[in-house]
């Protein structure tokens, strides 16, 4: 598909009014998608934009290779989305590629099956000689015996969603940070209004926001927000910790060639190298901190991938909560990384509201498309998704600055 110029100067949307709750990447992409379809959008975010999981993740533009052994469809979708994002928002992406490296016999034996799984998912992975991989990325563990190149990349956790926010706002969406939804009012079996607390300026004030349809794009908070409307949303907030060391020790994403687990990905971000992550579960995604022991575990895991990591000064250790779609008793490990748009009318007999859950930052546009398709169908709007078509405005535009 060709990339067209952003449709500036389009008539302001005048369709039904949709309230998007949650100002992370998913909410940003959804506000943009709905605005492009001619819907009037108001987005409510309780903190600063991207202050949830979106502003605190690893920043890996997943080629899908990490998921290829477990789920080809998720892997394929990741890769297809990276191709779209590279066209529409190149400014936020460093397309540097990645290596999966085998340390030890078991990992080495996995290489052919891993490459085959990637190729089946449409991901152009290829094994390259270990010595050549080390020439290209000399920081990697010299004990590696096999290396597979994959089309991974990195992206800026803030600039990517901000470009979507800028696009939504340019089309007339109202983006309201520091506005928390405290309640969702139902009338005649339908969600009709959000009771909000606006903390964007003093004095703080409570207010009613009415809309024709509500979508919760609240990630790990989706259970709490659903409960405000009396809904039981199946979500597992699964915190993970990351450690950033000073120094760009590699230029590509470097992952362990083994089934996805803890401490097996190193991502270069500007002048830092970030190892992640761990996984546990929690009821409350607010104020998540790394667990005792995370720092030492991650430092050790990082040094196994890139030996210099062990001696590099620590820049930060932090954690965020994955919004895993579903429930499980095994710390969320058996929950798929897929996403779903829940139609609460069909599922729970409550009209006027949907929830988009699961997924990952790389697939924010696809998540928004799925949710917006549902909203459009509910509201009788025929306009199709067009978000893969246009180059997004610069993230700077969100703050009123020229690109
Ligand atoms: C450790 C870790 C590493 C990860 N690494 C990667 C990676 O490298 N690549 C990748 O693609 N993905 C990664 N992910 C996954 C990715 O970060 C998430 O899937 C994604 O950021 C979720 O975005 P979201 O917009 O759905 O949720 P969020 O960003 O959490 O947004 C939800 C928003 O809703 C708001 N909200 C909650 N309650 C209310 C309310 N009552 N009223 C108003 N607003 C409310 C919150 O404040 C929040 O801002 C990682 C996740 C973790 C935990």
Give the pLDDT of residue 223: 96
pLDDT tens digit string along 9-45? 888 888 999 999 999 999 999 999 999 999 999 999 9
Cα 146 to ligand 1 centroid, rounded to whole Å: 34
Give the pLDDT of residue 335: 78
Give the pLDDT of residue 329: 67
* Whether residue 27 has its Cβ less than 6 Å from ligand 1: yes
Cα 54 to ligand 1 centroid, rounded to whole Å: 4
Give the pLDDT of residue 401: 66
pLDDT of 402 > 70? The answer is: no
Which region among 46-50, 146-150, 210-214, 286-290 has the lowest average model confidence (pLDDT)? Answer: 286-290
pLDDT of 305 > 90? The answer is: yes
pLDDT of 363 > 80? The answer is: yes
* Whether residue 44 has its Cβ less than 6 Å from ligand 1: yes
Domain ranges of the chain: 1-57+157-234+326-403
pLDDT tens digit string along 109-140? 999 999 999 999 999 999 999 999 999 999 99
Nearest ligand 1 atom, CA 320: 53
* Whether residue 294 has its Cβ less than 6 Å from ligand 1: no
* Whether residue 221 has its Cβ less than 6 Å from ligand 1: yes
Yes or no: is domain 1-57+157-234+326-403 CATH 3.50.50.60? yes
pLDDT tens digit string along 256-301? 999 989 999 999 999 999 999 999 888 889 989 999 999 999 999 9
Residues 103, 146 contacting (CB under 8 angstroms): no
Give the pLDDT of residue 150: 98
Cα 61 to ligand 1 centroid, rounded to whole Å: 15
Give the pLDDT of residue 365: 98
Give the pLDDT of residue 326: 87
Cα 323 to ligand 1 centroid, rounded to whole Å: 7
* Whether residue 275 has its Cβ less than 6 Å from ligand 1: no
pLDDT tens digit string along 220-267? 999 999 999 999 999 999 999 999 999 999 999 999 999 989 999 999
Cα 265 to ligand 1 centroid, rounded to whole Å: 19
């Amino acid at each position: 598909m060709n990339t067209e110029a952003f449709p500036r100067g389009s008539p302001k949307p005048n369709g039904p009014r949709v309230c998007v709750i949650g100002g992370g990447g998913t909410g940003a992409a959804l506000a943009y998608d709905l605005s492009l379809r001619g819907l009037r959008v108001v987005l409510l975010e309780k903190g600063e934009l991207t202050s949830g999981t979106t502003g605190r993740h690893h920043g890996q533009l997943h080629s899908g290779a990490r998921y290829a052994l477990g789920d080809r469809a998720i892997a394929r979708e990741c890769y297809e989305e990276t191709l779209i994002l590279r066209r529409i928002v190149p400014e936020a992406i460093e397309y540097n590629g990645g290596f999966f490296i085998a340390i030890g016999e078991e990992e080495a034996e996995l290489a052919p099956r891993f490459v085959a799984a990637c190729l089946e998912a449409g991901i152009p992975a290829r094994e390259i000689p270990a010595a050549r991989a080390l020439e290209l990325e000399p920081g990697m563990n010299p004990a590696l015996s096999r290396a597979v190149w994959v089309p991974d990349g990195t992206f800026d956790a803030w600039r990517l969603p901000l470009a979507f926010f800028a696009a939504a706002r340019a089309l007339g969406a109202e983006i309201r940070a520091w506005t928390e939804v405290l309640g969702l009012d139902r009338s005649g079996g339908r969600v009709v209004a959000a009771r909000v607390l606006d903390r964007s300026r003093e004095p703080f004030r409570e207010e009613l926001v009415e809309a024709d349809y509500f979508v919760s794009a609240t990630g790990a908070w989706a259970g709490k927000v659903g409960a405000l409307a009396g809904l039981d949303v199946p979500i597992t907030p699964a915190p993970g910790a990351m450690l950033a060391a000073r120094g760009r020790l590699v230029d590509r994403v470097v992952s362990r060639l083994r089934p996805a687990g803890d401490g097996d990905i190193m991502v270069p971000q500007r002048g830092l190298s970030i190892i992640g992550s761990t996984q546990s579960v929690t009821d409350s995604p607010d104020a998540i901190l790394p667990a005792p022991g995370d720092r030492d575990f991650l430092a050790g895991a990082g040094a196994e991938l890139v030996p210099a990591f062990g001696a590099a000064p620590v820049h930060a250790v932090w954690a965020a909560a994955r919004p895993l779609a579903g429930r499980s008793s095994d710390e969320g490990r058996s929950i798929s990384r897929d996403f779903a748009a829940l139609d609460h009318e069909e599922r729970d007999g409550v009209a006027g509201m949907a929830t988009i859950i699961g997924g990952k930052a790389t697939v924010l546009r696809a998540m928004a498309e799925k949710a917006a398709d549902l909203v459009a169908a509910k509201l009788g709007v025929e306009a199709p998704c067009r978000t893969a078509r246009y180059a997004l405005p610069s993230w700077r535009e969100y703050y009123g600055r020229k690109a």
